[in-house]
Structures are given as structure tokens and as C-alpha cells.
Structure 1
Amino acid sequence: MDSSWARKFTEDWVTAWNAHDLESLLAHFTDDVVFTSPVAAQLVGTAVIRGKDALRAYWSEGLRRIPDLRFEVVGVYSGVDTLVINYRNQKGGLVSEVLRFDGPLVREGHGTYLGEDSNPAGATS
């Protein structure tokens, strides 16, 4: 994964989140994406989200419940087919989004939190 591509992806990702533009954000994901997050368990009753439509429903519910959602990127880490975006959410909590790619699209994602924030309220990833 090229570092300039990773930075551009991250810029698009954070811009879409901060604009609450789910369709722009979801354009970066495969139709059969699998996404895991402890926040999903809180908001939609399951920690494993399967498919773009289910991901849209989860993130829509998150934005409904967290209208002041905003992310600030702290760091970007790239691997062979994996990108980690470390950011602060609107509550100041540190979160890492771990994204695995199939070509240019995310096929698998994981929202991860610091130990004390492992069951966070107020984040959507």
C-alpha cells in the first residue's frame, strides 16, 4: 500500500465522516464488507456487521444518536493490504479503525478502542 494513497484515502474518510456523508464513505467499501465494533453491539445489537446495507443501517443509527460526531486523525499506518487510522472522536476518545482492502475497496473493518474505552458510548466506528 502506497503511503500517499493511504493519506488520500484517510483524508476522504475523515472528510466524509465529519460531513456525515455516509454514501461517500460507503463508496469505499465492498458490497459484502464485514465490520466489527463493540459500539455496533450497543447500537444495533450485534458486534459483527455483514454487508454494505447493514453497515449503512448501523452508521445511520450512530449518526442519529450522535449528531455532534466529529473525528480528528492522529495517525495513519499502512501495511500490505491494511490501513490503520488512529483518531480522536468528539468525546476525545482514541479509536483505531483497522481496514483490510481488496484492491481499492475495504472488504473488512474493525473499530478498536483503548482498554478504558473498550465499551464506549458515543462513537460509531
Structure 2
Amino acid sequence: MPPIDWQAFAAKWCESWNAHDLDRVLDHFHEDVLFTSPVAASLFPETGGTIRGKAALRAYWSEGLKRIPDLHFTVERIFAGVDTLVIQYRNQKGVSVSEVLVFEGGKVRRGHGTYPLATDDPAGTSR
């Protein structure tokens, strides 16, 4: 498999999110993807923040887009590893967020949404 063009991936990822096009976003993920996020934990407490499989990821992100109709991302920086990409972006609230994506066979096998810890919120529950 040829190496992934991390810059192009991050640009397409951002364009897909900003278009609110879940099919395009999900096209980058394996069917049996595992995704973790504290936001998932707040929207779907029964998951404990761990979403398993593309269908469940679609349900989670569909709910997110429904609740955040003005969702918009601006990529600030990307960090690349051997099979890992970190996309640091600013969301519609102006919050800097990072998504850690681990690839296998050219698609995301595991992803992790990460959010800044507020100094007055040691548990990091405010976003």
C-alpha cells in the first residue's frame, strides 16, 4: 500500500466535516472501527465513550451534527507518525481539539477525540 498523504487526508477530512457529509467522513474508516470520545460518553452514556463499528459511529456523529448545526472545523496543525495522524483543529466554538487517528490498510482503525482540560475543571468535563 502506498504511503498516505497526510496533508491531503487532513484537508479532505476537514472538507467532509464542514460539508456535514457523513458518508464522506465515514469513507475513511474501517467497518469495525473503534472510536473514543468524552463527547460520545455524554451523548450516549451507555457506551462509556467507546463507539464500536461504523454503524454506531454514524449514529453518534449524526446525533452530533443534529445538535450542532453550525459545526465547522479549521485545521491548525497535523502531526504524523508511522501509522498515526493527529489533526489539531479549532471547532465552531473556537476550542482547539485534537483527533488521534490510527490507520491500517489506508483506513482509520482506531480514533480518539481529545479535548483540552480546563484549569478549573480537573476532570476535563467542560468542552
Preserved CA contact (<8 Å) 1:86 1:96: yes
Q: CA shift at 1:50, angstroms?
A: 0.1
Which residue of structure 2 lines up, in the alignment, with residue 77 of structure 1?
A: 79
Residue correspondences, number: 120
1:92, CA displacement in angstroms?
Answer: 0.5
Identity score, percent: 59
Match of 2:36 in 1: 36
Question: What are the superposed Cα offsets for residues 57-113 of structure 1, whole Å, 9 maximum, x if unpaired?
Answer: 000000000000000000011000000000000001110000000021000000001
Alignment map for 1:96-115 (pairs within 5 Å): 96-115=98-117
Superposition RMSD on alpha carbons, in Å?
1.6
Q: Distance in 2 between matches of 1:56 and 1:119?
A: 23
Q: Which amino acid aligns with 2:125?
A: N
User: Are 1:39 and 1:120, in contact at CA under 8 Å, matched by a contact in 2?
Assistant: no
Amino acid at match of 1:11: A
| Unpaired segments ≥5 residues, structure 1 | none
Give me the whole-angstrom Cα distance separating, in 2, the residues matched to 1:54 and 1:92.
27
The aligned counterpart of 1:27 is 27
- Partner SS state of residue 5, structure 2: helix
- Name the aligned partner's letter for residue 91 of structure 1: K
Higher relative contact order (CA 8 A, sep 6+): 1
Match of 1:119 among 118, 121, 125: 125
5 Å matches for 1:3-82? 5-45=5-45, 46=47, 47-82=49-84
Q: Distance in 1 between matches of 2:62 and 2:19?
A: 13
Higher helix proportion? 1
Equivalents in 1 of 2:67, 2:85: separation in Å? Answer: 27
List structure 1 runs of 4+ shifted beyond 2 angstroms.
117-121
Amino acid paired to 1:24: R
